[in-house]
């Protein structure tokens, strides 16, 4: 008969000495000391040491000798104090042990493909193949607890402020929102498809039209796009939407939520209001719209000096409307010529012509391009770059956008290489006033910088007809240690303005009615001003917990190739399933 557990392994302490308890869990390890057998029993709360004594319970001892790692047990026994020399201060239960009187083996186990402990050096694919074993490890159990606390803290915080949690459809219509949709064929409507939601964007806007006014959802989202360490084909968002709000009101609500998450999940108090900079400032100073502000090395514009110099690579770029910018890599004037050449090759691989360098010395500058500058120009350059003896100055000359982007990447690359990024810090920053539109040179058309429902700044609306690329949006991104964790905007709520934006994006009247007619129809019936935001919950948890990949914080993630090693998905299906869906496959690899 199954012994009914009365305590968790990690919750037993000196206060329980003398009690008879029933525990359940997995065998972590066994140590045979002759007539005494010590077994570590593990459940999700921690370990406790079991003692089997041959003299007291000979038959039970012989049964316990059969135990192996990951066997599943229940035991009954008395909590006793450990002797002073055997106390284990690393365990919460390290002052006691259980003198076992009864045991039931609930299941045996084969030898696991890796140790069920923290800090294992095991190929990630093996861990994903046996994810159910990986999840038994203490650090993964802690991750699941953190994820749970994040969910619950978000729900409590938003509920306290009047937000309603409302679920939205998983089977919806395919609409052009940026990434490719995952499509689901309809059996009852041959040749027609549902799409899995890239986000609940349209439905949360419709909820605002429906008078909900304050909505949130912990939503599953799906995007068929190339993957990387912080991206998965399916992921979880915290979606929020409000009616009758300004940008600052949305930001204020988000900061209250963030404060609650950090307090309840990490036990940290964050200082609010958070810092904020515009998109233009972020690009000018950091070369990125998601700047990592945990370290300096900001970009400096030296176009004025470059234009006056005799260095053609510089002054010709400026003459064509480009920009010359640099970064000061403090104290790195000792870089070898090979190291500098390697950096040049690196930036060229990112899409620029090259990299110029100068080393500040006591006697002036060490650089192959010094001859193209006057002494006065070099001194002006040194002051602009705050150069001191031993500093390495690096420069890129290109179109403004590319110059900023390349130097922004180089800034982060060098900070990582030089170990300049402090661990354990939490830098949060709002980036505001993004361009509403960007121009896709390959497709020769405008595309939405965020999504096509983002509202322009009111004063910039006239520019939609004359200079669309100068229109700023009421969008806002939240950046955490150089990673975007949330993005949102005030939405367009007037039909005529939404149609104008759709047409700038190249949609014909027929296309916008076909794709978004239901939204435009809703806007005819008193749509309120509204706005919102969506948090990438997995990415947020990855950063809060100091992990390097979101695969570490998702219970059952996919690989970088989008496959599930545990279930072997995606997988072929039976021919009759395809026939029922009216689908014919051209080829199968």
Least confident segment among 329-333, 493-497, 545-549 = 545-549
76 shares its domain with 166:
no
Is 124 contained in some domain?
no
416: phi > 0 → left, psi -120 to 50 → alpha, else beta; which?
Answer: alpha
Question: Do strands 530-536 and 483-490 pair parallel, antiparallel, or not at all (unpaired)?
Answer: antiparallel
pLDDT at 587: 72
Partners of 225 in beta bridges = none
Is 589 contained in some domain?
no
Least confident segment among 212-216, 493-497, 508-512, 529-533 = 508-512
pLDDT in tens, 438-473: 998 888 899 999 999 999 999 999 999 999 999 999
Number of domains in the chain: 3
- 325: number of CA atoms within 13 Å, CB side? 27
Distance CA 541, CA 519 (A): 33
Using DSSP's 3-state secondary structure scheme, residue 27 falls into: strand
CA angle (24 as vertex; 21, 27 as ends), nearest 5: 120
Given a cut of 70, whether residue 358 has pLDDT beyond it is yes
pLDDT at 184: 95
Residue of 219, 215, 213 whose CA lies nearest to 200: 219
96 shares its domain with 172:
no
Q: Single out the residue in 107, 131, 156 at which a domain terminates.
A: 107
- The residue segments making up the domain with residue 95 are 9-107
Distance CA 517, CA 523 (A): 10
Can you give the CATH number for the domain in which 561 is found?
Answer: 3.30.930.10
300 shares its domain with 413:
yes
Can you give the CATH number for the domain in which 309 is found?
Answer: 3.30.1360.30
pLDDT at 548: 87
Is 557 contained in some domain?
yes
Q: Which long-range contacts (CB under 8 A, 24 or more apart) does 412-420 make?
A: 412/288, 412/292, 412/482, 413/346, 414/297, 414/327, 414/329, 414/332, 415/292, 415/295, 415/297, 418/329, 418/332, 420/295, 420/297
Q: Among positive and negative, which fits the CA dihedral 292, 296, 297, 298?
A: positive
Mean confidence (pLDDT) of the chain: 94
The residue-averaged pLDDT of 25-29 equals 96
Is 424 contained in some domain?
no
pLDDT at 584: 87
The residue-averaged pLDDT of 510-536 equals 93
Q: CB-based burial of residue 231 (10 Å sphere; 0-12 exposed, 13-18 middle, 19+ buried)?
A: middle
pLDDT at 230: 67
CB 31 within 8 A of CB 41: no
Q: CB-based burial of residue 72 (10 Å sphere; 0-12 exposed, 13-18 middle, 19+ buried)?
A: middle
247 shares its domain with 305:
no
The residue-averaged pLDDT of 545-551 equals 91
User: b or e along 477-515 (b: 16 or more beta carbons within 10 Å of the residue's beta carbon)?
Assistant: bbbbbbebbbbbbbbbbeeeebbbbbebbebeeeebeeb
149 shares its domain with 267:
yes
Residue of 220, 305, 218, 289 whose CA lies nearest to 476: 289
177 shares its domain with 246:
yes
Confidence of residue 558 (pLDDT cuts 50, 70, 90): very high
Token readout for 277 is: 């900079």
Token readout for 198 is: 């890239």
Is 461 contained in some domain?
no
Can you give the CATH number for the domain in which 43 is found?
Answer: 2.40.50.140
Q: Single out the residue in 65, 84, 107 at which a domain terminates.
A: 107
- 12: number of CA atoms within 13 Å, CB side? 33
408 shares its domain with 304:
yes
pLDDT at 515: 87
Complete DSSP assignment for 76-135:
EEEEEEPPGGG--TTSTTTTEEEEEEEEEEEE--PPPSS-SSTT----HHHHHHTHHHHT
Dihedral angle over CA of 440, 442, 445, 450, nearest 10 = -30
Residue of 532, 519, 534 whose CA lies nearest to 209: 519
476 shares its domain with 566:
yes
24 shares its domain with 96:
yes
Tell me whether the omega of the peptide bond preceding residue 570 falls within 30 degrees of 0, making it cis.
yes
pLDDT at 434: 97
pLDDT in tens, 132-189: 999 999 999 999 999 999 999 999 999 999 999 999 999 999 987 668 899 999 999 9
Number of H helices, E strands in the chain: 16, 22
Tell me whether the omega of the peptide bond preceding residue 140 falls within 30 degrees of 0, making it cis.
no
225 shares its domain with 299:
no
Q: Which helix or strand (DSSP H or E) is residue 404 part of?
A: helix 400-417
Distance CA 425, CA 406 (A): 25
pLDDT at 153: 97
Using DSSP's 3-state secondary structure scheme, residue 487 falls into: strand
- What is the percent of the chain with per-residue pLDDT over 70, rounded to a whole number? 98
Using DSSP's 3-state secondary structure scheme, residue 182 falls into: coil
Q: Which helix or strand (DSSP H or E) is residue 394 part of?
A: strand 392-398
CB 561 within 8 A of CB 224: no
Is 520 contained in some domain?
no
pLDDT at 442: 86
412 shares its domain with 309:
yes
N-term to C-term CA, the chain:
51
Using DSSP's 3-state secondary structure scheme, residue 459 falls into: helix
Q: Which helix or strand (DSSP H or E) is residue 7 part of?
A: none
pLDDT in tens, 570-585: 999 999 999 999 998 8
Is 35 contained in some domain?
yes
Is 226 contained in some domain?
yes
User: b or e along 563-573 (b: 16 or more beta carbons within 10 Å of the residue's beta carbon)?
Assistant: bbbeeeeeeee
Confidence of residue 130 (pLDDT cuts 50, 70, 90): very high
The residue-averaged pLDDT of 80-101 equals 93
Confidence of residue 229 (pLDDT cuts 50, 70, 90): low
CB 352 within 8 A of CB 403: yes
Q: What residues have CB less than 8 Å from 316, skipping those under 6 apart? A: none
pLDDT in tens, 92-101: 899 999 999 9
185 shares its domain with 85:
no
Given a cut of 80, whether residue 433 has pLDDT beyond it is yes
Confidence of residue 512 (pLDDT cuts 50, 70, 90): confident
């Amino acid at each position: 008969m199954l012994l009914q557990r009365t305590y968790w392994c990690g919750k037993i302490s000196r206060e329980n000495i003398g009690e008879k308890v029933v525990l359940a869990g997995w065998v972590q390890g066994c140590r045979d000391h002759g007539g005494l057998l010590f077994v570590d029993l593990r459940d999700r709360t921690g370990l406790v040491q079991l003692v089997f004594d041959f003299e007291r319970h000979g038959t039970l001892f012989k049964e316990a000798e059969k135990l192996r790692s990951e066997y599943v047990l229940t035991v009954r026994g008395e909590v006793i104090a450990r002797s002073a020399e055997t106390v284990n201060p690393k365990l919460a239960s390290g002052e006691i042990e259980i003198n076992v009187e009864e045991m039931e083996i609930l299941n045996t186990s084969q030898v696991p493909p890796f140790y069920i402990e923290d800090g294992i050096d095991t190929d990630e694919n093996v861990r994903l193949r046996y994810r159910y074993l990986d999840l038994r490890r203490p650090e993964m159990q802690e991750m699941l607890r953190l994820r749970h606390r994040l969910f619950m803290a978000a729900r409590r915080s938003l509920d306290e402020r009047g937000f309603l949690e409302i679920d939205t459809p998983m089977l919806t219509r395919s609409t052009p929102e940026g990434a490719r949709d995952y499509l689901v064929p309809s059996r009852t409507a041959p040749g027609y498809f549902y799409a899995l939601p890239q986000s609940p964007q349209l439905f949360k806007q419709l909820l605002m039209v429906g008078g909900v006014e304050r909505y949130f959802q912990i939503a599953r989202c799906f995007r068929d796009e190339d993957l990387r360490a912080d991206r998965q084909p399916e992921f979880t968002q915290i979606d929020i939407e409000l009616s009758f709000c300004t940008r600052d009101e949305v930001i204020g609500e988000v900061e209250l939520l963030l404060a609650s998450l950090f307090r309840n999940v990490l036990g940290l108090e964050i200082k609010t209001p958070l810092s904020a900079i515009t998109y233009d400032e972020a690009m000018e100073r950091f070369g990125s719209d998601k700047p990592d502000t945990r370290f300096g090395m900001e970009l400096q514009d030296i176009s004025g000096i470059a234009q006056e110099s005799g260095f053609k690579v510089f002054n010709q770029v400026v003459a064509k409307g480009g920009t010359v910018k640099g970064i000061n890599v403090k104290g790195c004037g000792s870089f070898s010529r090979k190291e500098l050449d390697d950096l040049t090759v690196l930036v060229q691989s990112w899409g620029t012509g090259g990299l110029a360098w100068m080393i500040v010395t006591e006697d002036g500058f060490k650089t192959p391009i010094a001859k193209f500058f006057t002494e006065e120009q070099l001194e002006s350059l040194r002051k602009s770059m705050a150069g001191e003896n031993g500093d390495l100055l690096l420069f890129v000359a290109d179109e403004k956008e590319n110059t900023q982007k390349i130097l922004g990447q180089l800034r982060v690359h060098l900070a990582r290489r030089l170990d300049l990024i402090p661990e354990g810090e939490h830098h949060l920053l709002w980036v505001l006033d993004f361009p509403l539109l960007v121009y896709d040179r390959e497709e020769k058309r405008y595309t939405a910088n965020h999504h096509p429902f983002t509202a322009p700044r009111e004063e910039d609306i006239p520019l939609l007809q004359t200079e669309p690329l100068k229109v700023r949006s009421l969008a806002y991104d939240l950046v955490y240690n150089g990673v975007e964790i949330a993005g949102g905007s005030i939405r367009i709520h007037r039909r005529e303005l939404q149609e104008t934006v759709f047409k700038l994006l190249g949609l014909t009247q027929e296309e916008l009615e076909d794709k978004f007619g239901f939204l435009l129809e809703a806007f005819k019936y008193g749509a309120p001003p509204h706005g919102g935001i969506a948090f990438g919950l997995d990415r947020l948890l990855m950063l809060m917990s100091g992990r390097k990949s979101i695969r570490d914080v998702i219970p059952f993630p996919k690989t970088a190739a989008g496959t599930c090693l545990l279930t072997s998905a995606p997988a072929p299906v039976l021919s009759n399933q395809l026939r029922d869906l009216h689908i014919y496959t051209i080829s199968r690899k």
